Amino acid sequence: MSDKARILFDALDLDRDGTLTRAEVIGALLAKGPTLAAQGVIPVWGVGCAEDSSALFDAADQNGDRVLTFEEFAAVVDRRFGW
């Protein structure tokens, strides 16, 4: 798992409970996405709309429990963002 995946996960984990909900992913990417892209944490093309963020969540939620662990999240973003 990449360091960038950890940085992104921590930035999106708004309640700091160690998991991500759909609302956290959507809200945090919309609010923080441009700043994270400017910092080089995510590629500029990785900043999208609520539908894009929701699709990212769905791709990562492999077990269908509606929350993402770091491992689920990192497996998808590492592959999607080429880390």
For the stretch 40-75, pLDDT in tens is: 888 888 888 899 899 989 999 999 999 999 999 999
How confident is the prediction for the chain on average, in pLDDT? 92
- The domain tally of the chain equals 1
Question: Which domain CATH number covers 25?
Answer: 1.10.238.10
What's the pLDDT score for residue 83?
78
The residue to which tokens 């700091």 are assigned: 16
CA atoms of 67 and 41, how far apart (whole Å)? 22
Could you report the per-residue pLDDT of 2-49, keeping only the tens digit for each?
Answer: 898 999 999 999 999 999 999 999 999 999 999 999 998 888 888 888
Instruction: Indicate if the alpha-carbon torsion angle 62, 71, 31, 83 is positive or negative.
Output: negative
Contact yes or no for 13/25 (Cβ under 8 A): no
What's the pLDDT score for residue 26?
94
CA atoms of 34 and 46, how far apart (whole Å)? 9
Contact yes or no for 5/80 (Cβ under 8 A): no
What pTM value is reported for the model? 0.88
What is the domain extent for residue 64? Answer: 3-80
